[in-house]
Structure 1
Protein backbone atom coordinates (compact mmCIF):
# COMPACT_ATOMS: atom_id res chain seq x y z
CA UNK A 1 0.00 0.00 0.00
CA UNK A 2 1.35 3.43 -0.99
CA UNK A 3 1.96 5.69 2.01
CA UNK A 4 1.04 9.33 1.53
CA UNK A 5 4.06 11.61 1.95
CA UNK A 6 3.59 14.68 4.14
CA UNK A 7 3.79 18.05 2.47
CA UNK A 8 6.73 19.40 4.46
CA UNK A 9 10.22 18.27 5.23
CA UNK A 10 11.06 18.21 8.92
CA UNK A 11 12.42 20.06 10.68
CA UNK A 12 11.73 23.38 8.94
CA UNK A 13 14.24 26.15 9.67
CA UNK A 14 12.41 28.59 11.95
CA UNK A 15 14.56 31.45 10.58
CA UNK A 16 13.95 30.61 6.92
CA UNK A 17 11.80 33.66 6.20
CA UNK A 18 13.61 36.11 8.49
CA UNK A 19 15.27 37.98 5.56
CA UNK A 20 11.78 38.53 4.14
CA UNK A 21 10.16 39.81 7.34
CA UNK A 22 9.26 43.49 7.42
CA UNK A 23 11.02 45.75 9.90
CA UNK A 24 9.43 49.18 9.61
CA UNK A 25 11.51 50.60 12.47
CA UNK A 26 14.64 50.08 10.38
CA UNK A 27 13.28 51.41 7.13
CA UNK A 28 12.66 55.00 5.99
CA UNK A 29 8.98 54.87 5.10
CA UNK A 30 9.65 54.10 1.44
CA UNK A 31 6.33 52.33 0.93
CA UNK A 32 4.55 55.37 2.41
CA UNK A 33 5.89 57.45 -0.48
CA UNK A 34 6.57 55.16 -3.42
CA UNK A 35 3.12 53.52 -3.53
CA UNK A 36 -0.22 54.76 -4.79
CA UNK A 37 -2.79 55.00 -1.97
CA UNK A 38 -6.58 54.82 -2.07
CA UNK A 39 -8.84 55.49 0.91
CA UNK A 40 -11.26 52.84 -0.29
CA UNK A 41 -8.46 50.27 0.12
CA UNK A 42 -7.88 51.22 3.75
CA UNK A 43 -5.18 53.89 3.43
CA UNK A 44 -5.28 57.31 5.12
CA UNK A 45 -5.79 59.24 1.87
CA UNK A 46 -5.98 59.10 -1.89
CA UNK A 47 -2.49 59.87 -3.12
CA UNK A 48 -0.29 59.38 -6.16
CA UNK A 49 2.85 57.26 -6.19
CA UNK A 50 5.84 59.38 -5.21
CA UNK A 51 3.86 61.64 -2.85
CA UNK A 52 4.53 61.17 0.90
CA UNK A 53 1.66 60.06 3.13
CA UNK A 54 0.35 62.91 5.28
CA UNK A 55 1.29 60.93 8.42
CA UNK A 56 4.91 60.22 7.45
CA UNK A 57 7.33 61.89 9.88
CA UNK A 58 10.66 63.52 8.93
CA UNK A 59 12.49 60.52 10.46
CA UNK A 60 10.73 58.11 8.10
CA UNK A 61 8.40 56.68 10.74
CA UNK A 62 4.59 56.77 10.88
CA UNK A 63 3.02 59.33 13.23
CA UNK A 64 -0.07 57.16 13.79
CA UNK A 65 1.50 53.69 13.64
CA UNK A 66 0.15 52.68 17.06
CA UNK A 67 -3.37 53.75 16.04
CA UNK A 68 -3.56 52.16 12.58
CA UNK A 69 -5.83 49.32 13.73
CA UNK A 70 -8.09 51.67 15.74
CA UNK A 71 -8.49 53.87 12.68
CA UNK A 72 -9.25 50.80 10.55
CA UNK A 73 -6.43 51.62 8.15
CA UNK A 74 -6.26 48.08 6.84
CA UNK A 75 -4.23 49.02 3.78
CA UNK A 76 -1.37 49.99 6.09
CA UNK A 77 -1.68 47.13 8.57
CA UNK A 78 -1.97 44.46 5.87
CA UNK A 79 0.83 45.64 3.60
CA UNK A 80 3.96 43.51 3.48
CA UNK A 81 6.99 44.44 1.36
CA UNK A 82 8.76 41.08 1.95
CA UNK A 83 11.61 43.03 3.56
CA UNK A 84 12.35 45.07 0.43
CA UNK A 85 12.34 48.31 2.43
CA UNK A 86 15.19 47.18 4.67
CA UNK A 87 17.27 46.02 1.71
CA UNK A 88 16.95 49.45 0.08
CA UNK A 89 17.45 51.44 3.29
CA UNK A 90 20.16 49.40 4.99
CA UNK A 91 22.08 47.96 2.06
CA UNK A 92 21.62 49.29 -1.47
CA UNK A 93 21.08 52.92 -0.42
CA UNK A 94 22.72 52.77 3.01
CA UNK A 95 22.99 56.24 4.51
CA UNK A 96 20.92 57.76 1.70
CA UNK A 97 17.56 59.12 2.80
CA UNK A 98 15.19 59.76 -0.10
CA UNK A 99 14.06 63.17 1.18
CA UNK A 100 17.67 64.40 1.42
CA UNK A 101 18.48 63.38 -2.16
CA UNK A 102 15.60 64.47 -4.43
CA UNK A 103 17.74 63.71 -7.49
CA UNK A 104 17.87 60.02 -6.45
CA UNK A 105 14.26 59.72 -5.31
CA UNK A 106 12.75 58.44 -8.54
CA UNK A 107 15.46 55.79 -9.04
CA UNK A 108 15.32 54.73 -5.40
CA UNK A 109 11.57 54.17 -5.59
CA UNK A 110 11.96 52.25 -8.85
CA UNK A 111 14.60 50.04 -7.25
CA UNK A 112 12.33 49.48 -4.25
CA UNK A 113 9.62 48.09 -6.54
CA UNK A 114 12.16 45.88 -8.30
CA UNK A 115 13.46 44.50 -5.01
CA UNK A 116 9.88 43.95 -3.82
CA UNK A 117 9.19 41.76 -6.86
CA UNK A 118 12.48 39.88 -6.42
CA UNK A 119 11.67 39.30 -2.74
CA UNK A 120 8.24 37.97 -3.69
CA UNK A 121 9.88 35.40 -5.99
CA UNK A 122 12.33 34.57 -3.21
CA UNK A 123 9.45 33.98 -0.77
CA UNK A 124 7.75 31.46 -3.05
CA UNK A 125 10.99 29.67 -3.88
CA UNK A 126 11.94 29.37 -0.21
CA UNK A 127 8.50 27.84 0.43
CA UNK A 128 9.31 25.25 -2.23
CA UNK A 129 12.50 24.26 -0.42
CA UNK A 130 10.33 23.22 2.55
CA UNK A 131 8.39 20.68 0.50
CA UNK A 132 8.85 16.99 -0.09
CA UNK A 133 8.84 15.58 -3.64
CA UNK A 134 10.82 18.49 -5.11
CA UNK A 135 14.39 17.22 -4.65
CA UNK A 136 15.07 17.21 -8.39
CA UNK A 137 14.00 20.87 -8.62
CA UNK A 138 16.29 22.05 -5.83
CA UNK A 139 19.36 22.77 -8.00
CA UNK A 140 17.33 25.17 -10.15
CA UNK A 141 15.64 26.69 -7.09
CA UNK A 142 18.98 27.24 -5.34
CA UNK A 143 20.44 28.78 -8.50
CA UNK A 144 17.59 31.29 -8.86
CA UNK A 145 17.78 32.16 -5.14
CA UNK A 146 21.51 32.73 -5.48
CA UNK A 147 20.99 35.08 -8.43
CA UNK A 148 18.35 37.05 -6.53
CA UNK A 149 20.59 37.43 -3.49
CA UNK A 150 23.51 38.46 -5.72
CA UNK A 151 21.37 41.30 -7.10
CA UNK A 152 21.44 42.89 -3.63
CA UNK A 153 25.24 43.17 -3.50
CA UNK A 154 25.17 46.71 -4.85
CA UNK A 155 23.24 48.98 -7.22
CA UNK A 156 25.24 47.87 -10.24
CA UNK A 157 24.29 44.22 -9.64
CA UNK A 158 20.65 45.24 -9.19
CA UNK A 159 20.70 47.27 -12.40
CA UNK A 160 22.01 44.36 -14.46
CA UNK A 161 19.79 41.75 -12.81
CA UNK A 162 17.46 40.21 -15.41
CA UNK A 163 14.18 40.40 -13.52
CA UNK A 164 12.12 39.11 -16.46
CA UNK A 165 14.34 36.04 -16.81
CA UNK A 166 14.17 35.29 -13.09
CA UNK A 167 10.40 35.72 -13.13
CA UNK A 168 10.02 33.32 -16.06
CA UNK A 169 12.19 30.66 -14.43
CA UNK A 170 10.44 31.08 -11.08
CA UNK A 171 7.04 30.62 -12.76
CA UNK A 172 8.23 27.37 -14.32
CA UNK A 173 9.20 26.09 -10.86
CA UNK A 174 5.92 27.18 -9.25
CA UNK A 175 3.80 25.63 -11.99
CA UNK A 176 5.66 22.34 -11.68
CA UNK A 177 5.30 22.31 -7.90
CA UNK A 178 1.59 23.08 -8.29
CA UNK A 179 1.22 20.19 -10.72
CA UNK A 180 2.99 17.75 -8.42
CA UNK A 181 0.73 18.56 -5.53
CA UNK A 182 -2.41 18.24 -7.61
CA UNK A 183 -3.41 21.85 -8.22
CA UNK A 184 -2.62 23.08 -11.73
CA UNK A 185 -1.91 26.77 -11.42
CA UNK A 186 -3.27 28.84 -14.29
CA UNK A 187 -2.36 32.44 -15.20
CA UNK A 188 -5.88 33.03 -16.45
CA UNK A 189 -8.05 35.15 -14.13
CA UNK A 190 -10.83 33.30 -12.36
CA UNK A 191 -14.43 34.32 -11.85
CA UNK A 192 -14.70 36.54 -8.73
CA UNK A 193 -16.07 34.75 -5.67
CA UNK A 194 -16.89 37.66 -3.38
CA UNK A 195 -18.46 36.80 0.00
CA UNK A 196 -19.05 33.14 -0.88
CA UNK A 197 -20.06 30.66 1.84
CA UNK A 198 -17.45 27.90 2.02
CA UNK A 199 -17.59 27.21 5.76
CA UNK A 200 -17.29 23.69 7.22
CA UNK A 201 -16.10 22.23 3.92
CA UNK A 202 -13.25 20.04 2.77
CA UNK A 203 -11.10 21.43 -0.06
CA UNK A 204 -8.56 19.02 -1.49
CA UNK A 205 -6.05 20.23 -4.13
CA UNK A 206 -8.32 23.13 -5.15
CA UNK A 207 -6.85 25.86 -7.34
CA UNK A 208 -7.64 29.29 -5.90
CA UNK A 209 -4.58 30.90 -7.51
CA UNK A 210 -5.23 34.50 -8.64
CA UNK A 211 -8.83 34.22 -7.38
CA UNK A 212 -10.79 37.16 -5.92
CA UNK A 213 -12.15 35.70 -2.68
CA UNK A 214 -12.78 38.97 -0.84
CA UNK A 215 -15.09 38.52 2.17
CA UNK A 216 -15.62 34.78 1.64
CA UNK A 217 -16.28 32.45 4.58
CA UNK A 218 -13.99 29.44 5.12
CA UNK A 219 -14.66 29.06 8.84
CA UNK A 220 -13.79 25.60 10.19
CA UNK A 221 -12.95 24.33 6.72
CA UNK A 222 -10.11 21.94 5.99
CA UNK A 223 -7.92 23.04 3.09
CA UNK A 224 -5.47 20.38 1.92
CA UNK A 225 -2.83 21.33 -0.67
CA UNK A 226 -4.98 24.22 -1.84
CA UNK A 227 -3.17 26.70 -4.09
CA UNK A 228 -3.58 30.35 -3.00
CA UNK A 229 -0.87 31.88 -5.21
CA UNK A 230 -1.76 35.53 -5.82
CA UNK A 231 -5.31 35.14 -4.43
CA UNK A 232 -7.01 38.21 -2.92
CA UNK A 233 -7.87 37.14 0.65
CA UNK A 234 -8.99 40.48 2.10
CA UNK A 235 -11.54 39.90 4.87
CA UNK A 236 -11.69 36.17 4.11
CA UNK A 237 -12.74 34.39 7.31
CA UNK A 238 -10.44 31.49 8.19
CA UNK A 239 -11.50 31.20 11.84
CA UNK A 240 -11.01 27.62 12.97
CA UNK A 241 -9.81 26.60 9.48
CA UNK A 242 -6.88 24.29 8.77
CA UNK A 243 -4.49 25.92 6.26
CA UNK A 244 -1.38 24.00 7.32
CA UNK A 245 -0.88 22.24 3.97
CA UNK A 246 -1.85 25.12 1.68
CA UNK A 247 0.52 26.22 -1.06
CA UNK A 248 1.96 29.66 -1.78
CA UNK A 249 0.40 31.71 1.00
CA UNK A 250 2.17 34.93 1.98
CA UNK A 251 2.21 36.85 5.25
CA UNK A 252 0.49 39.77 3.53
CA UNK A 253 -2.41 37.54 2.46
CA UNK A 254 -2.80 36.25 6.01
CA UNK A 255 -2.57 39.78 7.45
CA UNK A 256 -5.50 40.76 5.22
CA UNK A 257 -7.64 37.78 6.29
CA UNK A 258 -9.63 37.05 9.45
CA UNK A 259 -8.67 34.22 11.78
CA UNK A 260 -8.47 33.15 15.40
CA UNK A 261 -6.43 31.08 17.83
CA UNK A 262 -7.80 27.87 16.26
CA UNK A 263 -6.70 28.77 12.72
CA UNK A 264 -3.86 26.46 11.68
CA UNK A 265 -1.27 28.09 9.41
CA UNK A 266 1.70 26.78 7.43
CA UNK A 267 4.83 26.65 9.61
CA UNK A 268 6.52 29.64 7.93
CA UNK A 269 3.66 32.07 8.66
CA UNK A 270 2.78 33.99 11.84
CA UNK A 271 -0.69 34.68 13.18
CA UNK A 272 -1.46 38.43 13.11
CA UNK A 273 -1.75 40.10 16.50
CA UNK A 274 -5.37 40.98 15.68
CA UNK A 275 -6.35 37.28 15.62
CA UNK A 276 -7.77 36.42 19.02
Structure 2
Protein backbone atom coordinates (compact mmCIF):
# COMPACT_ATOMS: atom_id res chain seq x y z
CA UNK A 1 0.00 0.00 0.00
CA UNK A 2 1.27 3.46 -0.92
CA UNK A 3 0.85 6.33 1.51
CA UNK A 4 2.12 9.60 -0.03
CA UNK A 5 1.82 11.37 3.31
CA UNK A 6 3.55 8.50 5.08
CA UNK A 7 2.53 6.88 8.36
CA UNK A 8 3.00 9.86 10.64
CA UNK A 9 3.58 9.71 14.38
CA UNK A 10 1.46 11.75 16.79
CA UNK A 11 4.40 14.16 17.11
CA UNK A 12 4.63 14.63 13.35
CA UNK A 13 0.88 15.15 13.04
CA UNK A 14 0.93 17.69 15.87
CA UNK A 15 3.73 19.59 14.15
CA UNK A 16 1.87 19.58 10.83
CA UNK A 17 -1.33 20.88 12.41
CA UNK A 18 0.63 23.69 14.10
CA UNK A 19 2.31 24.55 10.81
CA UNK A 20 -1.09 24.94 9.15
CA UNK A 21 -2.74 26.78 12.05
CA UNK A 22 -1.94 30.22 10.62
CA UNK A 23 -3.36 29.10 7.27
CA UNK A 24 -6.83 28.35 8.65
CA UNK A 25 -9.57 30.95 8.64
CA UNK A 26 -10.14 32.92 11.84
CA UNK A 27 -12.88 35.41 10.99
CA UNK A 28 -12.94 36.86 14.52
CA UNK A 29 -9.48 38.34 13.92
CA UNK A 30 -10.33 39.74 10.49
CA UNK A 31 -12.15 42.87 9.31
CA UNK A 32 -14.55 41.13 6.94
CA UNK A 33 -12.04 41.60 4.13
CA UNK A 34 -13.40 38.83 1.93
CA UNK A 35 -16.87 40.39 2.25
CA UNK A 36 -15.73 43.69 0.78
CA UNK A 37 -12.52 43.27 -1.23
CA UNK A 38 -13.90 40.63 -3.60
CA UNK A 39 -16.16 40.86 -6.60
CA UNK A 40 -19.33 38.81 -6.05
CA UNK A 41 -21.73 37.26 -8.54
CA UNK A 42 -25.15 35.98 -7.50
CA UNK A 43 -24.83 33.44 -10.33
CA UNK A 44 -21.83 31.92 -8.56
CA UNK A 45 -23.66 31.46 -5.27
CA UNK A 46 -23.15 34.79 -3.52
CA UNK A 47 -25.91 36.97 -2.00
CA UNK A 48 -26.01 39.52 -4.85
CA UNK A 49 -23.84 40.90 -7.62
CA UNK A 50 -21.27 43.07 -5.85
CA UNK A 51 -18.39 45.22 -7.03
CA UNK A 52 -14.95 44.79 -5.49
CA UNK A 53 -14.47 47.28 -2.66
CA UNK A 54 -18.17 47.45 -1.82
CA UNK A 55 -19.34 45.77 1.42
CA UNK A 56 -21.62 42.74 1.18
CA UNK A 57 -25.21 43.47 2.19
CA UNK A 58 -24.82 40.92 5.03
CA UNK A 59 -21.66 42.41 6.53
CA UNK A 60 -22.41 43.80 10.01
CA UNK A 61 -20.69 46.71 11.76
CA UNK A 62 -18.61 44.32 13.86
CA UNK A 63 -17.33 42.64 10.65
CA UNK A 64 -19.38 39.47 11.18
CA UNK A 65 -21.86 37.99 8.70
CA UNK A 66 -25.55 38.25 9.57
CA UNK A 67 -26.41 35.03 7.71
CA UNK A 68 -23.26 32.98 8.34
CA UNK A 69 -25.10 30.18 10.15
CA UNK A 70 -27.59 29.79 7.31
CA UNK A 71 -25.36 30.00 4.24
CA UNK A 72 -26.21 26.50 3.01
CA UNK A 73 -29.93 26.90 3.64
CA UNK A 74 -29.84 30.11 1.57
CA UNK A 75 -27.99 28.38 -1.25
CA UNK A 76 -24.94 30.65 -0.90
CA UNK A 77 -22.45 28.10 -2.16
CA UNK A 78 -20.01 30.79 -3.23
CA UNK A 79 -19.66 31.85 0.39
CA UNK A 80 -19.29 28.30 1.72
CA UNK A 81 -16.66 27.53 -0.92
CA UNK A 82 -14.46 30.56 -0.30
CA UNK A 83 -11.33 30.16 1.82
CA UNK A 84 -8.77 32.91 2.41
CA UNK A 85 -6.30 30.41 3.97
CA UNK A 86 -5.87 32.73 6.95
CA UNK A 87 -4.89 35.73 4.84
CA UNK A 88 -7.65 37.85 6.37
CA UNK A 89 -6.37 37.74 9.93
CA UNK A 90 -2.77 38.04 8.72
CA UNK A 91 -3.50 41.32 6.93
CA UNK A 92 -5.70 42.62 9.73
CA UNK A 93 -3.50 41.77 12.70
CA UNK A 94 0.04 41.66 11.29
CA UNK A 95 0.30 43.77 8.14
CA UNK A 96 -1.93 46.54 9.52
CA UNK A 97 -1.44 45.92 13.24
CA UNK A 98 -5.15 45.73 14.08
CA UNK A 99 -6.13 48.98 12.35
CA UNK A 100 -9.29 48.36 10.35
CA UNK A 101 -10.45 50.01 7.13
CA UNK A 102 -13.39 51.76 8.80
CA UNK A 103 -11.17 53.51 11.34
CA UNK A 104 -8.66 54.45 8.65
CA UNK A 105 -10.63 54.83 5.40
CA UNK A 106 -7.60 56.37 3.68
CA UNK A 107 -5.88 52.96 3.79
CA UNK A 108 -8.97 50.95 2.80
CA UNK A 109 -8.23 50.47 -0.89
CA UNK A 110 -4.62 49.57 -0.19
CA UNK A 111 -5.72 47.06 2.46
CA UNK A 112 -8.11 45.38 0.05
CA UNK A 113 -5.39 45.08 -2.58
CA UNK A 114 -2.93 43.69 -0.02
CA UNK A 115 -5.52 41.15 1.10
CA UNK A 116 -5.88 39.78 -2.42
CA UNK A 117 -2.10 39.41 -2.65
CA UNK A 118 -1.81 37.84 0.79
CA UNK A 119 -4.53 35.36 -0.02
CA UNK A 120 -2.49 34.10 -2.98
CA UNK A 121 0.63 33.75 -0.84
CA UNK A 122 -1.21 31.89 1.91
CA UNK A 123 -2.79 29.50 -0.58
CA UNK A 124 0.69 28.73 -1.92
CA UNK A 125 1.89 28.10 1.64
CA UNK A 126 -0.95 25.64 2.21
CA UNK A 127 -0.01 23.56 -0.82
CA UNK A 128 3.72 23.85 -0.15
CA UNK A 129 3.22 22.68 3.43
CA UNK A 130 1.42 19.59 2.19
CA UNK A 131 4.02 19.01 -0.54
CA UNK A 132 6.75 18.93 2.10
CA UNK A 133 4.95 16.02 3.85
CA UNK A 134 4.65 13.82 0.76
CA UNK A 135 7.08 10.92 0.79
CA UNK A 136 7.38 10.62 -3.02
CA UNK A 137 8.50 14.27 -3.12
CA UNK A 138 11.57 13.59 -0.98
CA UNK A 139 13.97 14.13 -3.95
CA UNK A 140 12.93 17.80 -4.14
CA UNK A 141 12.50 18.52 -0.42
CA UNK A 142 15.31 21.07 -0.34
CA UNK A 143 13.73 23.04 -3.18
CA UNK A 144 10.30 22.85 -1.55
CA UNK A 145 11.67 24.05 1.79
CA UNK A 146 13.52 26.90 0.12
CA UNK A 147 10.54 28.24 -1.77
CA UNK A 148 8.32 27.74 1.29
CA UNK A 149 10.64 29.91 3.38
CA UNK A 150 10.79 32.49 0.62
CA UNK A 151 6.99 32.61 0.35
CA UNK A 152 6.52 32.81 4.11
CA UNK A 153 8.98 35.68 4.25
CA UNK A 154 7.00 37.59 1.62
CA UNK A 155 3.90 37.52 3.84
CA UNK A 156 5.70 39.77 6.35
CA UNK A 157 6.53 42.53 3.87
CA UNK A 158 5.10 46.02 4.21
CA UNK A 159 1.91 46.90 2.30
CA UNK A 160 3.86 48.89 -0.30
CA UNK A 161 6.34 46.05 -0.83
CA UNK A 162 3.57 43.49 -1.16
CA UNK A 163 1.87 45.56 -3.83
CA UNK A 164 5.13 45.85 -5.75
CA UNK A 165 5.69 42.07 -5.75
CA UNK A 166 6.02 40.29 -9.09
CA UNK A 167 3.33 37.84 -8.05
CA UNK A 168 3.08 36.18 -11.45
CA UNK A 169 6.77 35.27 -11.45
CA UNK A 170 6.67 33.92 -7.89
CA UNK A 171 3.49 31.94 -8.57
CA UNK A 172 5.09 30.37 -11.63
CA UNK A 173 8.05 29.23 -9.53
CA UNK A 174 5.76 27.73 -6.89
CA UNK A 175 3.52 26.06 -9.46
CA UNK A 176 6.51 24.47 -11.17
CA UNK A 177 7.52 22.76 -7.92
CA UNK A 178 3.96 21.74 -7.10
CA UNK A 179 3.68 20.23 -10.57
CA UNK A 180 6.88 18.24 -10.03
CA UNK A 181 5.54 17.10 -6.67
CA UNK A 182 2.31 16.02 -8.29
CA UNK A 183 4.10 14.03 -10.97
CA UNK A 184 6.20 12.21 -8.39
CA UNK A 185 3.10 11.22 -6.42
CA UNK A 186 1.07 10.26 -9.49
CA UNK A 187 3.88 8.10 -10.85
CA UNK A 188 3.89 6.13 -7.60
CA UNK A 189 0.20 5.37 -7.93
CA UNK A 190 0.57 4.41 -11.58
CA UNK A 191 3.09 1.78 -10.68
CA UNK A 192 6.03 3.85 -11.86
CA UNK A 193 4.60 4.52 -15.32
CA UNK A 194 5.70 8.05 -16.01
CA UNK A 195 3.67 10.55 -17.97
CA UNK A 196 5.27 13.36 -19.90
CA UNK A 197 4.90 16.89 -18.52
CA UNK A 198 3.15 17.97 -21.70
CA UNK A 199 0.55 15.25 -21.31
CA UNK A 200 0.26 15.99 -17.60
CA UNK A 201 -0.46 19.64 -18.27
CA UNK A 202 -3.06 18.83 -20.90
CA UNK A 203 -5.09 16.67 -18.54
CA UNK A 204 -7.17 17.96 -15.67
CA UNK A 205 -7.15 21.69 -16.35
CA UNK A 206 -10.30 22.56 -18.25
CA UNK A 207 -11.72 19.02 -18.27
CA UNK A 208 -15.50 19.06 -18.14
CA UNK A 209 -17.01 16.24 -16.10
CA UNK A 210 -20.22 18.05 -15.14
CA UNK A 211 -22.78 15.47 -14.12
CA UNK A 212 -20.67 12.58 -15.45
CA UNK A 213 -20.79 9.10 -13.94
CA UNK A 214 -17.14 8.32 -13.18
CA UNK A 215 -17.67 5.31 -10.96
CA UNK A 216 -15.99 2.95 -13.43
CA UNK A 217 -13.13 5.32 -14.28
CA UNK A 218 -9.66 4.62 -12.93
CA UNK A 219 -8.71 7.85 -11.17
CA UNK A 220 -5.80 6.61 -9.07
CA UNK A 221 -2.94 9.03 -9.64
CA UNK A 222 -5.12 11.09 -11.98
CA UNK A 223 -4.38 14.69 -12.87
CA UNK A 224 -7.64 16.47 -12.01
CA UNK A 225 -6.13 19.92 -11.61
CA UNK A 226 -8.82 22.50 -12.30
CA UNK A 227 -11.23 19.85 -13.54
CA UNK A 228 -14.92 20.71 -13.48
CA UNK A 229 -16.53 17.92 -11.47
CA UNK A 230 -19.78 19.69 -10.61
CA UNK A 231 -22.45 17.10 -9.72
CA UNK A 232 -20.23 14.28 -11.00
CA UNK A 233 -20.82 10.81 -9.58
CA UNK A 234 -17.67 9.59 -7.80
CA UNK A 235 -19.35 7.22 -5.37
CA UNK A 236 -16.90 4.60 -4.19
CA UNK A 237 -14.13 5.83 -6.49
CA UNK A 238 -10.51 5.47 -5.37
CA UNK A 239 -8.82 8.87 -5.78
CA UNK A 240 -5.55 7.88 -4.13
CA UNK A 241 -2.71 9.97 -5.50
CA UNK A 242 -5.06 12.12 -7.58
CA UNK A 243 -4.14 15.81 -7.82
CA UNK A 244 -7.27 17.85 -7.07
CA UNK A 245 -5.77 21.32 -6.89
CA UNK A 246 -8.38 23.82 -8.06
CA UNK A 247 -10.93 21.14 -9.01
CA UNK A 248 -14.56 22.29 -8.79
CA UNK A 249 -16.32 19.82 -6.48
CA UNK A 250 -19.65 21.59 -6.06
CA UNK A 251 -22.32 18.92 -5.51
CA UNK A 252 -19.86 16.18 -6.50
CA UNK A 253 -21.09 12.89 -5.03
CA UNK A 254 -18.19 11.55 -2.95
CA UNK A 255 -20.16 9.04 -0.88
CA UNK A 256 -17.89 6.12 -0.12
CA UNK A 257 -15.04 7.62 -2.16
CA UNK A 258 -11.44 7.26 -1.01
CA UNK A 259 -9.68 10.63 -0.92
CA UNK A 260 -7.41 9.82 2.01
CA UNK A 261 -4.29 9.90 -0.13
CA UNK A 262 -5.40 12.41 -2.75
CA UNK A 263 -3.27 15.55 -2.84
CA UNK A 264 -3.80 19.31 -2.79
CA UNK A 265 -7.41 19.10 -1.62
CA UNK A 266 -8.81 21.87 0.58
CA UNK A 267 -11.56 22.09 3.18
CA UNK A 268 -13.47 24.57 1.02
CA UNK A 269 -13.64 22.05 -1.82
CA UNK A 270 -14.91 19.33 0.51
CA UNK A 271 -17.50 21.67 2.04
CA UNK A 272 -19.20 22.10 -1.36
CA UNK A 273 -19.33 18.38 -2.15
CA UNK A 274 -21.65 15.58 -1.04
CA UNK A 275 -20.31 12.79 1.15
CA UNK A 276 -21.09 10.42 3.96
CA UNK A 277 -19.51 8.57 6.88
CA UNK A 278 -17.83 6.19 4.42
CA UNK A 279 -16.00 8.94 2.56
CA UNK A 280 -12.30 8.77 3.43
CA UNK A 281 -10.67 12.19 3.76
CA UNK A 282 -7.06 13.37 4.10
CA UNK A 283 -5.93 13.66 7.72
CA UNK A 284 -5.88 17.46 7.64
CA UNK A 285 -9.49 17.88 6.54
CA UNK A 286 -12.68 17.68 8.60
CA UNK A 287 -15.84 15.85 7.63
CA UNK A 288 -18.57 18.49 7.02
CA UNK A 289 -21.40 18.36 9.55
CA UNK A 290 -24.02 18.46 6.78
CA UNK A 291 -22.81 15.20 5.20
CA UNK A 292 -25.05 12.17 5.48
CA UNK A 293 -24.24 9.56 8.12
CA UNK A 294 -25.78 6.78 6.04
Q: 1:186 aligned to 2:201? A: yes
Query: CA separation in 2, counterparts of 1:7 and 1:259?
Result: 23
CA distance in 1: counterparts of 2:185 and 2:150, whole angstroms: 26
Whether contact under 8 Å (1:16, 1:268) holds in the other structure is: no
Equivalent-residue separation in structure 2 for 1:153 and 1:182 (angstroms) = 34
* 1:207 counterpart = 2:210: no
Cα offset, 1:164, TM superposition:
2.9
Deviation at 1:51, TM superposition (A): 0.7
Hey, what's the Cα distance between the residues in 2 that align with 1:74 and 1:159? 30
For the residue of structure 1 that corresponds to 2:207, the secondary structure is coil
Contact 1:144/1:166 (8 A) holds in 2: no
Given the alignment, which residue of 126, 131, 135 partners 1:128?
131
2: CA distance, partners of 1:162 / 1:143 = 18
Aligned-partner Cα distance in 1 for 2:119–2:217: 35
Displacement of 1:140 after TM fit? 1.5
In the other structure, the counterpart of 1:140 is 143
* Larger proportion of strand: 1
* Counterpart pick for 1:10 among 7, 11, 21: 7
Unaligned regions of 5+ residues in structure 1, if any? none
CA contact (8 A) 1:211 1:230 kept: yes
Deviation at 1:123, TM superposition (A): 1.0
1:112 is the counterpart of 2:115: yes
Give distance in 1, aligned partners of 2:24 and 2:76: 20
CA distance in structure 2 between the aligned counterparts of 1:65 and 1:190, rounded to whole angstroms: 31
**How many Å separate the matches in 2 of 1:93 and 1:187?**
41
Please point out which of 61, 77, 83 is paired with 1:58: 61
CA shift, 1:202, in A, is 4.1
The CA deviation string for residues 121-174 of structure 1, in whole angstroms up to 9 with x for no partner, is 111111111111222311111111112221232415534544333212211211
Q: Deviations over 1:24-56 (max 9, x none)?
A: 122111000011111122211111111101111
Count, aligned residues: 273
CA distance in 1, matches of 2:181, 2:70: 40
Unmatched runs of 5 consecutive residues or more in structure 2: 188-196
Kindly report the root-mean-square deviation, in angstroms, between the aligned alpha carbons of the 2 structures: 2.0
Q: Give the stretch that moved more between structures: 147-156 or 83-92.
A: 147-156
- Secondary structure of the residue that 2:80 maps to in structure 1? helix
Structure 1 pair 187–49 and aligned structure 2 pair: CA distance change class (3 A)? farther
- CA apart distance, 1:5: 4.5
2:255 corresponds to 1:239: yes
d(CA) in 2 for partners of 1:54 and 1:101?
Answer: 21
Confirm or deny: 8 A CA contact 1:233 1:253 kept in the other structure. Answer: yes
How do 1:32-51 residues align onto structure 2 when only pairs under 5 Å count? 32-51=35-54
User: Partners of 2:106 and 2:120 in 1: how far apart?
Assistant: 24
Equivalent residue of 1:271, what SS? coil
